[in-house]
Amino acid sequence: MAHSHDHSHHHSNNPLVKIAQALHLPGFTHDHSHHDLAADRAFLDNQLAVRTVWIALIALGLTTALQIVIYLASNSVALLADTVHNLGDALNSIPLLFAFYIARRAANKRYTYGYGRLEDIAGVFIVISIGFSAAYILYESIQRLLNPLPLENLEWIALASLVGFVGNELVAVMQIRVGRRIGSDAMIADGQHALIDGLTSLAVLIAVIGTLIGLPILDPFIGVVIALAIVGITWNAIKAIWYRMMDAVDPHLVEHVEAHVLGLDGVLAIETLRLRWVGHRMYGVMKIALPADTTLEASGEIVRAVQHEARHVIPQLEELTVEVLRGDVQAPPCATAPDGKM
Is the distance from CB of 120 to CB of 103 less than 8 angstroms?
no
The CATH number of 251-326, from 3.40.50.10490, 3.40.50.970, 1.10.20.10, 3.30.70.1350, is: 3.30.70.1350
Domain ranges of the chain: 15-245, 251-326
Q: Do the Cβ atoms of 75 and 151 come closer than 8 Å?
A: yes
Q: Which CATH class is domain 15-245?
A: mainly alpha
| All residues at 6 or more sequence positions from 88 whose CB lies less than 8 Å from its CB, including other chains | 129, 130, 132, 133
The model's pTM is 0.63
Parts of the chain with a pLDDT under 50 = 1-12, 16-38, 328-342
How distant, in Å, are the alpha carbons of 119, 247, 321 from that of 274? 21, 10, 10
pLDDT tens, residue by residue, 270-294:
999 999 988 878 899 999 999 988 8
CB 300 within 8 A of CB 316: no
pLDDT tens-digit series, residues 220-244: 777 787 778 778 878 888 888 888 8
What is the reported pLDDT for 138?
Answer: 80
pLDDT score, position 151? 64
